[in-house]
Amino acid sequence: MYREGVSEPRALLEGAFRAAVAAVDPDVAIRPHLPDPPSGRIVIVGAGKAAASMAAACEAHYAELGTALTGVVVTRYGHGAPTKSVRVLEASHPVPDAAGVAATDEILGAVAAAGRDDHVVVLLSGGGSALLCAPAEGVTLEAKRSVTDALLRSGATIDDMNVVRRHLSRSKGGRLARLAAPAPLTALVISDVVGDDLATIASGPTVPDPTTFADALDVLDAYGIADEAVRRVLRDGADGGREETPKPGDPLLEHCRTILVATNETALAAAAEHLRRGGYVPHTLSATIVGEARDVGALLGSVSERVWRLGEPFSAPCALLSGGETTVQVRGSGRGGRNGEAALGFALSLPAEAPVWALFADTDGIDGTEENAGAFVTPMLLRTLDRRSARAALRANDAYGVFADAGHLLLTGPTRTNVNDLRIVLVSEGSRVRGGAA
Amino acid sequence: MYREGVSEPRALLEGAFRAAVAAVDPDVAIRPHLPDPPSGRIVIVGAGKAAASMAAACEAHYAELGTALTGVVVTRYGHGAPTKSVRVLEASHPVPDAAGVAATDEILGAVAAAGRDDHVVVLLSGGGSALLCAPAEGVTLEAKRSVTDALLRSGATIDDMNVVRRHLSRSKGGRLARLAAPAPLTALVISDVVGDDLATIASGPTVPDPTTFADALDVLDAYGIADEAVRRVLRDGADGGREETPKPGDPLLEHCRTILVATNETALAAAAEHLRRGGYVPHTLSATIVGEARDVGALLGSVSERVWRLGEPFSAPCALLSGGETTVQVRGSGRGGRNGEAALGFALSLPAEAPVWALFADTDGIDGTEENAGAFVTPMLLRTLDRRSARAALRANDAYGVFADAGHLLLTGPTRTNVNDLRIVLVSEGSRVRGGAA
């Protein structure tokens, strides 16, 4: 049942990760939520790194029902996938480009052309905010980018930035959905935003926007952003010279629903179920853990240590699960994504005899810019780790090398979906540590 | 029973903190472990920020028994306290000075003078490592300091540094205890070191040292530290020209025992018991949480949110406790210790309606360099917090101001003991949030 030389807990971890990814696979996640066939056509639009696979899942579903279908989606360069009648366009992410603007024009056109008898299906996933890019009249792509950059540098939060971005766009903040009327619209969302706020995912093209042009000006004032061209547009809007984003209760959004079809919680629940069947009682600490990767790893290590030493706050054997998205402050020039760094921080926080296995991985199958999805920590790794050189590797942001040398990488290839990070720790009883297999 | 205008949960938190501090009070912690009166004298020595209050507790105990007693301890400038027969000297911390060297000479002299019928009681607490300062022959205080600084700058761990420091000292690494023979020796330790490693607390003057002069040279090599005077001393030792630190099993340490009388766990257990009696089921996550303060706060926030939203991994109402010692990367010029920053990171990670109360505080009564011990988070604070200015305050390392303005500081004055940080979160049921009192 298990690969030779690989311990049962390590195989269980990998199985839990694959179960989690399967639960957020576009095909599995979307089908139960697709609207009934309309008398007219299904019009598919979408944006995000999973747009092509989401579109393919829709096509397969409606092909079985014989429903007329058309559409266009935009995904990241290299993320295309074969579809039949939906056109898949590619554009730049995370920095938007002209191809993204052109693709978004096509998408908005397709939505606006939908009739009363059609049904618009909007497919949103991670990266949608950059890929769905339609600068408002009088705003250049360059101006949008430079305002966003200036806000970022000033320490603005994602919420603050989105207030501004929604008011410099023809698609964000519910504007795309308003174009669909009178056609009904169903938006299906795979969330890569910690906390799953619908107004943040792809900047909320299908949900009402409670904020105003005046709020956007306030944000620029608060952070001292001077850009005059952008301010003119926002002032014009605040003075009534431009149409506001649709507000909660807007009648034109009554025909719209937006459904979260796959989130970090979905993945955590599937992993937990897999682990339970494998004999480990699962405890999910949080789906929204953020923070510096190595610190998050060390903290999970300290909780794990308490479990096997004292049986608190959970008794062993058990599994500690968490999700969210950590960050890495890059200081060195090494290789390694946030999950590798978190895993190394975790390993370095534990003594050599810890009866602990762990897998920290990105559900999109790509940890940072490497070819691995994540990294394993095993008792063998803990016993054999050269801690001084591992600490040096962590200082150089080179966690990848440590796990590569130890044969402790998880390799899955791109999964074509993304609900952020999954961290699973298996804690055995201290006296029950099993043999040396990694 | 509770102060007017202060909610029951806030008073419960403060009560739990005071119960925790009382459990690690020198008088309470030391008495059960003091040795029976010898036929000769009790010789008290010690070093640390709690040295004076620990000495006073010993004096009181043996005075009741009519035991002859003498001694000398060193504490930080301003941390002296009235004693009868034990001399309390003061010196510099965290950077050692000549007063510390002179005091340590007296202490080593008193230990060496103890006879077979005497019993040496060594009192160690936080700061002991800097205050107990006896450079080895041929090493200046300046040289010791500059090697330590160079190691710190090179990213050496505390373990690496201690290998070197124990081999440049006449007191550390078990050397002090060896001087006591043939007198028996009992060391009583209040731990401010995360994880309570006895070889690290005050650099382990009473416990054997498994490392060697050669190991110390290896550390200097590994980090490329060139200091020739220090290297000569270490090479001399490695060549047998100097006495090694006592190793595990050394017969001269057979008459010695070292006892942890108060740790972060002691405080956590007392707080947990207080909370249990107050109606909150306590769950202790870890006594060893380290990491950037605001990130630790946010992580505890994300776990708390899951508790009241989903009843996972614990059902509400409950208390989440943790200990350890966070760090703060200072970027701004504001006021605020690590507990204030952690509390603000916690508050900012929560929505305004969170049914959560928390207290993050330093058991020594001083959070960083402020006059407060820590800070409260309450539902009223969460509802009224101006989040934009709070985020700006956090960026400026100015958490103190936020809690001071809101009347949410915990003020206790110095507690004369220290087992690091205590973080307590009370989570109520979402539907059971009580009224507006802070």
Per residue in A31-48, pLDDT (tens digit) is 999 999 999 999 999 999
Contact list in B for residue A286 (CB cut-off 8 A) is 299, 302-303, 305-306
Question: Do residue B49 and residue B15 come from a single domain?
Answer: no
A279: which DSSP letter?
A: T
**Of A46, A49, A51, A127, nearest to A94 (Cα)?**
A127
DSSP sequence for A344-371: HHHHHTS-TT--EEEEEEETTS-STTSS
Interface residue A8 vs chain B (CB under 8 A): no
Q: What is the pLDDT of residues A279-319, one digit of tens each?
A: 999 999 999 999 999 999 999 999 999 999 999 999 999 99
Q: Same domain, yes or no, for B205 and B278? A: no
Q: What is the CATH number of the domain that holds A357?
A: 3.40.1480.10
**Whole-angstrom distance, CA of residue A346 vs CA of residue B227:** 34
Show the tokens assigned to A244.
């506001």
Task: Single out the residue in B262, B289, B305 at which a domain terminates.
Answer: B262
- pLDDT value of residue B438: 43
Measure the CA–CA gap between B349 and B40, rounded to whole angstroms: 60
Tokens at residue A116, please? 């009363």
Within-domain flag for A188 = yes
- Both A276 and A255 in one domain: the answer is no
B159 in any annotated domain: no
B 153-192 residues with CB < 8 A to A: 155, 157, 160
What is the structure's pLDDT at A435? 42
Whether B313 and chain A come into contact, CB under 8 Å, resolves to: yes
**pLDDT of the residue at A217:** 95
| pLDDT tens-digit map of A375-423 | 999 999 999 999 989 998 998 999 999 999 999 999 999 898 999 999 9
- What's the pLDDT score for residue A431? 52
Please name which of B351, B394, B302 lies closest in space to residue A420, comparing C-alpha atoms. B302
Does residue A276 share a domain with residue A177?
no
Structural domain includes residue B149: no
User: Residue B128 corresponds to which tokens in the numbers above?
Assistant: 């002991």
CB contact at 8 A, A332 and A397: yes
pLDDT of res. B148: 87
Q: ipTM of the assembly? A: 0.84
Chain B segment 208-227 residues within 8 A of A by beta carbon are 222
Chain A residues closer than 8 Å to B157 by CB: 391
Classify residue B141 by burial, with Cβ atoms within 10 Å: 0-12, 13-18, 19+.
Answer: middle
Could you tell me the two tokens for A375? Answer: 């990294």
> What is the pLDDT, as a whole number, of residue A438?
42
Cβ contact B70:B86 at 8 Å = yes
What the block records as the tokens of B233 is 């001393």
| Contact (CB, 8 A) for A300 and B287 | no
Looking at residue A186, the DSSP 8-state letter turns out to be: E
Question: What sign for the dihedral angle of Cα A336, A337, A342, A343?
Answer: negative
Same domain, B255 and B322: no
- Determine, yes or no, domain membership for B57: yes
Residue B247 to residue A162: CA distance in whole angstroms: 62
Q: What is the pLDDT of residue B379?
A: 96
Whole-number pLDDT of residue B331: 82
Beta pairing class for B69-76 and A256-262: unpaired
Rg (CA), chain A: 23
Task: Round to whole Å and give the CA distance between B344 and B360.
Answer: 10
Q: Which of B388, B391, B421 to mutate to test the interface with A (most CBs of A within 10 A)?
A: B388
- Which token pair is A386? 């050269």
**Model pLDDT for residues A223-242, shown as the tens digit of each residue:** 899 889 999 999 999 999 99
Residue A437 has pLDDT above 50, yes or no: no
B186, B314: one domain: no
Mutate to test the interface with A, among B153, B154, B164, B288 (most CBs of A within 10 A): B288
Mean pLDDT, chain A, whole residue set: 92
Q: Cis link prior to B313 (omega < 30° from 0)? A: yes
Judgement on whether residues B401 and B279 belong to the same structural domain of the protein: yes
B33 inside domain: yes
Q: What's the gap in Å between the CA of B246 and the closest CA on chain A? A: 24
Q: Indicate if A323 and A392 belong to the same structural domain.
A: yes
B407 and B316 part of one domain = yes
Q: Which domain holds residue A205?
A: 27-134+169-209+245-262
The verdict on A41 and A128 lying in the same domain is yes
- Its pTM stands at 0.88
- Nearest of A292, A268, A121 to residue A191 by alpha carbon: A268
Q: Considering the domain boundaries, does residue B432 fall inside one?
A: no
Q: What sign results for the dihedral spanned by CA atoms B383, B388, B391, B393?
A: negative
Q: Which residues of B touch A306 (CB under 8 A)?
A: 284-288
Strand order, beta sheet including B42-47: B86-91, B69-76, B42-47, B119-124, B185-190, B256-262
> For every one of its 438 residues, what pLDDT tens digit does chain B have, with 9 covering 90 and above?
444 445 699 999 999 999 999 999 999 999 999 999 999 999 999 999 999 999 999 999 999 999 999 999 999 998 888 899 999 999 998 889 999 999 999 999 999 999 999 999 999 999 898 999 999 999 999 999 899 889 888 878 888 888 999 999 999 999 999 999 999 999 999 999 999 999 889 889 999 999 999 999 999 998 899 889 999 999 999 999 999 999 999 998 999 999 999 999 999 999 999 999 999 999 999 999 999 999 999 999 999 999 999 999 999 999 999 999 999 988 888 887 999 999 999 999 999 999 999 999 999 999 988 889 999 999 999 999 999 899 989 989 999 999 999 999 999 998 989 999 999 999 998 654 444 444
Give the CATH number of the domain where residue B110 resides: 3.40.50.10180
Is some CB atom of chain A closer than 8 A to the CB atom of B350? no
What's the whole-number mean pLDDT along residues A158-182?
93
Span A124-129, average pLDDT: 92
Helix (H, G, I), strand (E, B) or coil at A69: strand
pLDDT for residue B431:
52
Phi, psi for residue B121 in degrees, rounded to 5: -110, 120
CA distances from A255 to A122, A179, B137 (A): 13, 11, 85
Angle of CA points B11, B15, B20, to nearest 5°? 150
Residue A130 and residue A150: Cα distance in Å, rounded?
16
Smallest CA–CA separation between A295 and chain B, in Å? Answer: 5
Using the 3D structure, point to which of A194, A227, A262 is the last residue of a domain: A262
Choose the final residue of a domain: A221, A236, A262. A262
Asked, for residue B3, whether it belongs to a domain, the answer is no
Q: Which two tokens stand for residue B162?
A: 């201690």
Terminal CA-CA length for chain B = 16
Query: Is there a single domain that holds both residue A304 and residue A353?
Result: yes
Would an 8 Å CB–CB cutoff place B74 in contact with chain A?
no
A235 in contact with B at a CB cutoff of 8 Å?
no
Measured between beta carbons, the chain A residues lying within 8 angstroms of B291 are 291-292, 295-296, 298-299
Report the pLDDT value the prediction gives residue B412, as an integer from 0 to 100.
95
The answer on A187 and A109 residing in a single domain is yes
- pLDDT number for residue A4: 45
Strands (DSSP E) found in A252-317: 256-262, 281-289
B351: left (phi over 0), alpha (psi -120 to 50) or beta: beta
- As for how many domains chain A has, the answer is 2
Residue A123 located in a structural domain: yes
pLDDT beyond 50 at A2 = no
